[in-house]
Amino acid sequence: MTVTKTSMLVLDCAEPQALAHFYAELLGGEIQVGEDPDLIEVIGGSGVRLAIHRDHGHAPPSWPRPEDSQQAHLRILVGPEDIDEAEREAVSLGARPLDSDAEEGPREARLFSDPAGHSFTIAATGWSV
């Protein structure tokens, strides 16, 4: 018998409630708090599942510096016609752009950090970085 499996990305941070709120707003999802107040789930409208975990000794990643490796990378897919609006929305919620090159013209993938320092990409569907 095959066991049905699912997966969930878990991000560590110092303040899980604030980061869960950021991702719930960004993904159009709902926050679910279980018995453990240090682990909060975000369930997105399109089936996205993300967990935010309190790490009392958390040090934010400092990508792209090689001495502090990237701890996780979330890729948020949007339609090509929606990438500019998705970028504006993310920034208005507290995301910080991380793109370091001054590439001109439209870009199909854009790199950001969330308020706790985790990197994520907003990318047009079908585009690979």
| Domain ranges across the chain | 9-124
For tokens 């949007």, name the residue.
78
How far is residue 105's CA from residue 94's CA, in Å, rounded to a whole number? 24
How far is residue 100's CA from residue 15's CA, in Å, rounded to a whole number? 27
Has residue 127 got a pLDDT over 60?
no
Taking the domain 9-124, which CATH number applies? 3.10.180.10
pLDDT digits (tens, 9 = 90+) for 83-111: 899 999 999 999 999 875 555 556 788 88
How far is residue 65's CA from residue 118's CA, in Å, rounded to a whole number? 13
Sign of the alpha-carbon torsion through 30, 24, 116, 111 = positive
Give the angle subtended at the CA of 37 by the CAs of 122 and 86, to the nearest 5°. Answer: 15
Residues 64-89: what's their mean pLDDT? 77
How many residues make up the chain in this entry? 129
| Per-residue confidence (pLDDT) for residue 3, from 0 to 100 | 45
| Per-residue confidence (pLDDT) for residue 129, from 0 to 100 | 35
